[in-house]
Structure 1
């Protein structure tokens, strides 16, 4: 009997996602013509087995942690393993240890994009509760390939950032409460008309980059325009990619950031640099003060006065840096 799926359902969730995923799998009936793939952002260790166990308690569909080379079968639920990307190919799963996207591995965007390229109009993306914006670029890829985009209503999501980012940056096919997603899935797979929409070449290239892990600078410059920013993770030059106005930044080693993620990382980089500068300046001030005390004991008062003056000046600068650091921390709350 043919166990190849007619559709693939890719699901992304983050904060609050464990409960939401349990509620979702309850709604997917046995005998479904789809294979289901899940990325949940929680921990780099152990979440795969835990999530599989928790989901299996709520569904008769077989649930398992995805492995490299595993064949795709309809009616099965595949969970991304910790600290690895899950890539959906035609009939087979690839698990790779590539660069993080949006600071996550596994990344929702990587999985969604691969499903869009592999299954085109038969890919169905679902974004559930979560923070930040991983999943928006992946959902745009599904839309461009003619797939179906479903978002949990942000008004009921425990953490609305991820679904809200999707509906803010694109038109989705369905924005519904979690309890209605199962009905939507059944209706889509029963009534969807396949039109033969071609896969955009740039999405094929990005999916290839994620799968092969290693790439060349020319590959990223073909996908976008060189920006003035450098990658916070490896220091490489970032190219700006635009998906219907939604900007992302990719370096040639594979790291990818949305504008929001890049802003967050640059803020953290500034704060880290300021803390280092603060430590060095305090060490220098303490050393100058110590020298001044020793010079006073030796009767070298003129030299001691100069060292004390420089220590006091550094004290002023230290106070200003502390003010900047603490103000930045308050603004981010």
Structure 2
């Protein structure tokens, strides 16, 4: 990188994010010598253009929806579109509809990891309000690559779970309220660009795997995953494929399948819970349909006067009713446990 190239600021947020992002950007100067990239968890039918138009009303920085293959510029904010990942590769952006990470698309971790892999110590990672744990691994990648990590203070966040998860796993350089964050970002952007970048091999390798899989919609080879991590006994909750555990050189475990789905421990556990719940609902539906058929058979045999055969069907109906009630109770307990997990760990 030359001295004239901008610094990189990556921002990740979830619930309550737009209000926090708007406040933060409104305090930054128009000529900030850094390029800013934002991933906000969005539903697939959200309009990134609408959100960018809103941001442009509150900041002097130029705000755009990120476009695939475009070079990025300083003093410009690039917002990830809905249902697509945003990655950084050298001096340009990749906007791709690759596999979900942490069950999100767009996801925070791929952006942060790509920034760390390509720009190392010239990268500043920012985590704002939100739920879940997407962004924790990305912040660790930035930290290990020599970059700076900034987290919104949980007391200042509308939804503190995501900041708390990052603080718990990563030794952040700054944990501050939004009112102090803009000054820190401006000071960091003014510092000289680092010319010698030493990126940990595992971060660079995983970023390249992610970039290729998401850009070309090709699967990661099993050989690559064997080199990058250790095969586990777990299955991917998104596609059912095998999972490899990565992160031996870092402090945070993460999991990836050869289709490209990736998870932190928290998101993997939640994904497994969701897959289990879906299976239980299918089983419940099947049992109820079976009970209805048996009930029809009972009523038909009763009408015909076949009381012995009708009695057998009636007994089977009652047995099926017991199984259905037990399954409903299990589903109720499972839902309560998932809600408690989201509240405690995100």
TM-score (norm 1): 0.94
1:293 alignment partner in structure 2: 299
Distance in 2 between the 1:330 and 1:74 partners?
Answer: 47
Range with greater deviation from structure 2 (152-161 or 181-190): 181-190
Q: Contact 1:144–1:200 (CA<8 Å) still a contact in 2?
A: yes
2:344 alignment partner in structure 1: none
2:243 alignment partner in structure 1: 238
The answer to whether structure 1 residue 321 and structure 2 residue 327 are counterparts is yes
Range with greater deviation from structure 2 (262-271 or 238-247): 238-247
2:128 alignment partner in structure 1: 128
CA 1:221/1:5 → structure 2, altered by over 3 Å: closer, same or farther? same
Distance in 2 between the 1:332 and 1:101 partners?
Answer: 19
Mapping of residues 218-237 of structure 1, within 5 Å = 218-237=223-242
The answer to whether structure 1 residue 161 and structure 2 residue 166 are counterparts is no
Counterpart of 1:185 in 2: which secondary structure? helix
Q: What is the CA distance between 1:289 and its match in structure 2?
A: 2.3
Distance in 2 between the 1:46 and 1:263 partners?
Answer: 27
Range with greater deviation from structure 2 (296-305 or 93-102): 296-305
**What does the per-residue CA deviation read over 1:80-121, in whole Å, with 9 as the maximum and x for residues that have no partner?**
122111111221112122111111111111111111111110
Q: What is the CA distance between 1:195 and its match in structure 2?
A: 8.0
Structure 1 alignment gaps of length 5 or more: none
Q: Contact 2:119–2:197 (CA<8 Å) still a contact in 1?
A: no
Distance in 2 between the 1:95 and 1:331 partners?
Answer: 36
Cα RMSD (Å): 1.9
Distance in 1 between the 2:59 and 2:178 partners?
Answer: 16
Q: What is the CA distance between 1:301 and its match in structure 2?
A: 2.2
Q: What is the CA distance between 1:194 and its match in structure 2?
A: 4.0
Counterpart of 2:8 in 1: which secondary structure? strand
Q: Contact 2:42–2:83 (CA<8 Å) still a contact in 1?
A: no
**What does the per-residue CA deviation read over 1:52-106, in whole Å, with 9 as the maximum and x for residues that have no partner?**
1111111122111111121111111111122111111221112122111111111
**What does the per-residue CA deviation read over 1:192-233, in whole Å, with 9 as the maximum and x for residues that have no partner?**
784835111211121112221222122222221111111111
Range with greater deviation from structure 2 (302-311 or 176-185): 302-311
Q: Contact 1:250–1:257 (CA<8 Å) still a contact in 2?
A: yes
Distance in 2 between the 1:316 and 1:325 partners?
Answer: 14
Counterpart of 1:74 in 2: which secondary structure? coil
Which of 330, 333, 338 is residue 332 of structure 1 equivalent to?
338
Mapping of residues 167-178 of structure 1, within 5 Å = 167-178=167-178
Number of residues of Structure 1 aligned to a counterpart in Structure 2? 332
Q: Contact 2:36–2:77 (CA<8 Å) still a contact in 1?
A: yes
Mapping of residues 241-320 of structure 1, within 5 Å = 241-242=246-247, 244-320=250-326
Distance in 2 between the 1:3 and 1:35 partners?
Answer: 14
2:37 alignment partner in structure 1: 37
Counterpart of 2:255 in 1: which secondary structure? strand
Distance in 2 between the 1:168 and 1:270 partners?
Answer: 28
The answer to whether structure 1 residue 200 and structure 2 residue 200 are counterparts is yes
The answer to whether structure 1 residue 58 and structure 2 residue 64 are counterparts is no
Q: Contact 1:15–1:42 (CA<8 Å) still a contact in 2?
A: no
**What does the per-residue CA deviation read over 1:214-258, in whole Å, with 9 as the maximum and x for residues that have no partner?**
221222222211111111111110111236332211111110111
Structure 2 alignment gaps of length 5 or more: 340-346
TM-score (norm 2): 0.91
Range with greater deviation from structure 2 (200-209 or 7-16): 200-209
Distance in 1 between the 2:257 and 2:63 partners?
Answer: 35
Q: What is the CA distance between 1:3 and its match in structure 2?
A: 10
Q: What is the CA distance between 1:26 and its match in structure 2?
A: 1.5
Q: Contact 2:46–2:82 (CA<8 Å) still a contact in 1?
A: yes
